[in-house]
Structure 1
Amino acid sequence: ALTIDFTGVGPWSITYDNGDTTITLNGITSNPFILDVSPDTTTTYCLTGVNDVNCPGTFSGCADVTVHTGVTVSNLQWQCNPTATHYTVTFTISGGDPASYFVTGLTGTISPTPPYVFTSDPIPTGTGFSATIDDANGCTPRTVSQAEVICPCVSDAGSMNTTLIEECGDGPVNVGDATGVSTDPDDLHLYYLHTNSGSSIGTVVAISTMPEFSFDPATMTYGTTYYVSSVVGNDDGNGAIDLTDPCLSVTAGTPLVFYEIPTASMSGTTEVCPGEATDLVITLTGDSPWEVVINGQTVSGINNTPFNYSVSPLATTVYELTSVSDEHCSAVVSDFDTVSVHDAPVPSNLMVACNSTNDGFTVSFDITGGDSTCYQVVPANGTITNGQFVSNVIPDLQGYSFAVSDCHGCPAIVVSDTLVDCACTSFAGDMETTQLDICGSDVAAPNYLGGEVLDGNDVLCFMLHAGDNVPIATNSTGQFVFNPVTMVHEQTYYISAMVGNDDGSGCVDMTDDCLSIGAGAPVVFHAIPTALLTGDATICAGGGTDISIELTGVGPWDIVYTNAAGTNISVTANSSPHLINVTPTNSNVYSLVSVSDAHCDGTVSGNATVTVNNPPQVVNVSEACDQATLMYSVSFDIVGGDATSYSVTPANGTLLNGTFTSDPIASNTPYSFFVDDANGCGPVEVSGVEECSCVTDAGTMGGTVILLCEGETANAQPANGVSLDGDDILVYVLHDNSGATLGNVLATNTSPSFPYMPGVTIPGVTYYISAVAGNDDGTGNVDPNDICFDMAPGTPVVFNPLPTVSLTGNTTICEGENAQVGFSMTGTGPFTVTFTINGTPTT
């Protein structure tokens, strides 16, 4: 309000000037007079004339009225720091008095030059803010606030392979790098070996910058499942990760098990006689069941330790233990035992000699084979010199019996006669003492050396006995076959010549006082060996299986088998069953061709069918983005394998007729699927990542200002370069913010055309017509929360106010004075005014 003091006689009239217009007020009766003014801008008011009721007067004085505008706030934003722990708030302050801008409720700084941007100090994530913005004039304080701001963490430990890794021994083991890892500037990326199977850290065993760890006996145990997880988070100050970091990220780890390397050692009896068996004792460590390889022969299915491995070598044999496998691991070992086979000593060249007085006799024979350093003859009634035994004198008309052996304890061979009568002349010759090995039903026919002496009543025949001169069978030919009723395979028998009285059947009477039995030929009857092949199996391509051959007879065995291609393959087996590991590339049938053991050719039977399954294959992998959600799905076809049992893990999607389509996956999130079937020959991994980008683009609007008057319609040019996805619409909006933010939206339209709206649009204010694009919110407008929402900076529009004019001036003057008539106008000059003087128009 301005105060005007008068002198003179009221009522008064005044004229004053506001810099644009001269204004006249009449009929003023109060003194002093309060003049109310309401300028839009700072204005100087000066008196230019005064009159009282009688006369014009003198005047003086001017008054400056300063108009302060209120502050306004725009472009409110907040920005998280790279570590997602704090955020800063920024906004632009305009209007008012820039020199005295201030902000309460938030600390920060205001830029010293236009545009005046306030930037707050960092604010912890998860908290909100409220600030009041004003200047020293206090016209229109503004408030900005947000209840809560949560900064999204960028820390991401990615993903690890979750297939179990089993390591034999102490490593080190590299399980493979994590994929899809992202870090903020404060983060470390480390690998943790720990005890939890999920995406949280259990008991920490070890930490490394690489996904590589070794077994530590001080902190770990064999057979325990540990997990290697990718971990991202802040440094705890000691080079490890702060596990309380709110943005800590831990992947589900790769399971890892360390197994102790198995061991095996061998011991046992080292001396046997022919045909005897002995046990080699194998001591094992590790986890049952075990499998060992001895002399190239695999012995499997061992469930206990120590394990007795029975052998019956025909000759001195070195048994070498070369490898051991337990439930998990294999190892090379080196241990051996020598099993010595001691042949029994054999007497030959038997001589019975009467002394010169025929009242006594001596028995002599040569001893061959066995251990010549420790020959034994029981009873020890005589001497052994250079392998020849000569008895002491035995009285006439007595018999004799000598058991011949050595110090190795093998069964003795008896040389005997029931009666020696020095008057007797009967003498049986010897057989050749080379051992005969007879297969199956073949005939044993040793070579008789002759030299027999027969008296008038004697006959020569032959007997088969077990070394005790007790006949099992007799005949006149000296040829014998195996009789399963009275004999057993693999035992040593003897064929000897006999001379004595005829028993009436053409052979010797065993009670003849002059019976003579010559040294026998050793013979062993062997069963025909057999081989039975079994082991039907189903395996995966690249894998293997054991086919088994059950054997009878005496090892070692020479075996020939064939595959489906007709290829003959020879192997040697030392024990039964004999396992052969096969790795066919295609399904195959294996069969036996022949078998022979240490002595005889045998018979074969059986076959083994090995079916080879291939894993399913993945083809036509594709990734498709959904522009409405910026998520993507993965699809692929599965071929090969067993189509009736395809499986995809994890089962996050649908599998139909061999085509898998995943559930939606967030953009930039890696995926990993494992494909297999009931045969279990996979899995085949399908992995990758897809980034989905918005295609929505509202285009560009013209930048030339559209100047209009109140009541007119603003018509902007349509946006250029518009791009819409399938769910998008394009709408034009009239709003009050420049740049890429809308501010207050006054109206929307499907075309860039907006009329002046009284009470809504303010004359002289710059508005903007922008194109906006995005999903329909259901009302025909663009959903501002659409993640692909896009806005084109607008075409500026100004609705200028209509100009106004009013006529002012003196209505009463004194005679001779001039009257001043003034025009008071609003609007932007220069103006053109048309008025009338006494009805006559003037411009």
Structure 2
Amino acid sequence: VATLILMVNEVSISVLAPEISCTTNTGTITITAEGGTAPYEYSINGGTNYQSRNLFTNINAGNYNIIVRDANGCSAETTVTITQEICCTLTASATAPTIECNQANGTITVTTSNGTAPIQYSINGGTTYQSGNIFNNLAAGSYTITVRDANDCIVTTDVTIAQQLAPNLVITNPAAVCAPATVDITASAITAGSDPNLTLSYWTNANATTSLPNPTAVSAGTYYIKATATNGCETIAAVIVSVTDQPNLVINDPAICAPNTVDLTAAAITAGSEPNLTLTYWSDADATQKLANANAIAASGTYYIKAVSAAGCEIVLPVNVTINAQPNLVVTDPPAVCPPLNVNLTAAAITAGSDAGLTFTYWRDAAASQPLNNANSINAAGTYYIKATNANGCETIQPVTVSVLQGATLRTTDPAPVCSPATVDITLPAITAGSDPNLVLSYWLNENATDALNNPRAVGRTGTYFIRALNADGCQNIQPVRVVINPLPTITIEGPDSLCLGLNTDLIIRFTGQGPWSFTYTDGSQSRTINNVGGNTYRLNVGPNTTTTYTITSVTDRNCTKDVSDENISHQLWITIPIDGVRLPPVFTTANTPTQLQGRNIGPNYNMFNWFPPLGLNRYNILDPIFTYDKRVEYKIEMRSEAGCVTVDTLVVQPVNTTEPGLKPAIYVPTVWTPNGDGRNDRLFPFTINIIELRWFRVFNRWGELVYETSTLGAGWDGIYKGKIQPIDTYTWTAEAVGINGEIFRLTGLAALMR
């Protein structure tokens, strides 16, 4: 049915055109007009024909153009379609053969008629369709098949797939058992109520593919029984086997020491077991002989505890009781000792006769609660205790009595020190004043009193000696006494043998002994005392004007004084007179030519030299240095004696044949030369200073014969004339030269030839 309302020029229309039933051939159209001006005219063919009635009958299915026109000529127009119901003539039926038991291979075949192809089939209520009319691999049961043709006509049909009946298998799960018990699932009670004549088999899985090897003795778990009927049909059902675990009973074997007993009911025996067990105690493993004294077992052995859980399961386990014997401790009291000796309680003799392998500890009380820290050196009388523990941990405690006799009281006072050669009497009562009376005293060199002192009344050597005191109980006391016999101090004097007049020197005084020291000496005219010398060496400064002997007459150290006036401890100091210095003859030499200089030798005691300035010298601290220089030098030669006397000579060294600005021209000829071929002073020649020309230098022998002549500066005669060595003699020389200032020099002189 379709209804259309259209407003056209104030005219509105609605159309009712119901669907034509499949059992009739025509239908109707009803038009309703509103608005406009009545009367209305109605047309269903687009205005070709109008009628005054708004109902059109005997109308075939199809499309119609509806127009309504009012009295004013206003109109409204619409279209409408009349449909006709299609009548479904489709029919369907289905068949399904019976399937075997335990199978799901059923087939449904659908048969249709009077439908419009193509036909479609559904087995799930029309959710999905298939084109084929056969459904395969179906399980037994009822199905509704839906069939639909091309006109969407749908019909349903019901069909049942029948199946041969499976055997009736009734399973009753067996009652739970206690481990280690097992269950026989082949027992008839397990399948009581099932069909008769079934063949039963036993499996570990629900598909019955893995057989159960021992169905008569299975443990906890789910197993499966397959029942097969005579027609071959079978069914599988699960059977659940419950095995309750044994109680978890933990046994801790006890071990104690006699005379103690063991309480098997103590919680420690079964510590670690599961809670809430009911425990009973037995003499045998089958738990048939009840243990009467489970809380006070006095004998070693094996006993049994049965534990029953809340589930009623039980277990019986052995408990081994060990009661170890007490150690055998034999204690022998040590013999009495005298102070300061002590007793060693750890000595083997104290516990001789006891069990071997015991561990001993030592205590002040019988309960062994106060340890004895000095068990190996007991010096107080009393009762002490020894605890012996064996390898099993068993122990016993025994007393031991220590006896300490009355000791001898010996007090010693060291005697006052004396000076050698005095001796000390250590038998004097003052030495042992304050000691016990009636002691027997003896005197020794060592603290063990094994080496006797032969002369206790006259001890002459510093050292520690020992006095032993013995009382009536036989107890002894050994005390040291220190004897000090101080050695006398010694003194020596030493110093230089001589001293230059006017100087001072130190005399060295040396001491032995213990400082501080004092000493007295004399210089022959008076005595003097020097006090509080801290070191063992003293420097006595003296400066006599004449030779003097210094003599020590006494010396004192911290402890002793010694008179040394008869020991001739003295030192003589000689006074020497200093030698005046002189000006030595000048030395002429060629510039930069090594020339040995010679100082004055004024005696063997003058053995220290110093040339100043040291210019041009190879050494400045010897008597005869080598001069190698090109300038004039005036040397001060300081010569010092062992006595401290100092003499200073002066020596001028003048290089010749040199030009030295500021010096007056001059010529010097040595008075001696030594042509012996040693390279020193081998030629006789004039030394020139600021000379520009040597006109001649001539040498004549004592007969006036000319033996040498030259005009060359620096050339000289070597003492050879006509190829012969000339004799030692005095020769005359003459020279004429011109200075740089034009001055002419004419000189003559004598020179001695020495070999």
- State the TM-score, normalizing by the size of structure 1: 0.23
The structure that is strand-richer by fraction is 1
Is the radius of gyration larger for structure 1 or structure 2? Answer: 2
